[in-house]
Amino acid sequence: MDPKEKAKEVVKRLKEEYPDVKIALKFENPFQLLVATILSAQCTDERVNQVTPELFKKFPTPEAMAKASVEEIAELIKSTGFYNQKAKYIKEAAQMIVEKYGGVVPKTMKELLELPGVARKTANIVLANGYGIVEGIPVDTHVKRLATRLGLVSARTPEKIEKELLKVVDKKDWFVFPLLLQAHGRKVCLARKPRCEECVLRDLCNDYLS
């Protein structure tokens, strides 16, 4: 089976397994989504969702976040790891959003990538889930792991993995594809002990078949 056919079959089967799949991060607007996604680096979405209600209650807007001190933000996000760096990114991104974009999170890949702490993964997530603009496929640890195990990609870096995935995944599935892989990665295709015997993709999986 060539990679395009395989990707199509992966999407079909996972849609049946996870019919109501959606982003795990909780947010009410693009700014909250941006902050939550920055926090999710090296951290579970579950942990981020425990931290953000208090953070957004105290600093609900880009303007409020821009005025907060790095120390105030860091204290509220401590349990997400790398909190000093994340706090710095969040404050600086909020400042740029206020000063350069009038308090509105920008809607283009180019502008989003200028924000501190934002790489393509974060930009893709904000565009797709915050604005309904699908320009690419966000590659997080789940997407990287599953795409590699399934043999959909040979690249190792997120940027190159995304380029390969954009060639094999139908454009109409770019939005749902990462959400499906994330759901399956959390439930079945675990990092350390994948539950291969429960997996609906095992006959498609290079790792399982090798």
d(CA 176, CA 147): 14
Catalytic-role residue among 6, 86, 91, 121 = 121
61-87 burial: b if 16+ Cβ within 10 Å, else e: bbeebbebebeebbebbeebeebeebb
Catalytic-role residue among 140, 160, 170, 171 = 140
For residue 101, give Cα distances in angstroms to 11, 111, 137.
37, 9, 25
Catalytic annotation present for 140: yes
At residue 198, the 3 state secondary structure works out as: helix
Sequence-separated contacts (24+) of 112-119 with Cβ below 8 Å: 115/34, 116/88, 116/89, 116/92, 117/38, 117/86, 117/88, 117/89, 117/90, 117/92, 117/93, 118/34, 118/38, 118/89, 118/93, 119/158
- Give the active site residues: 121, 140
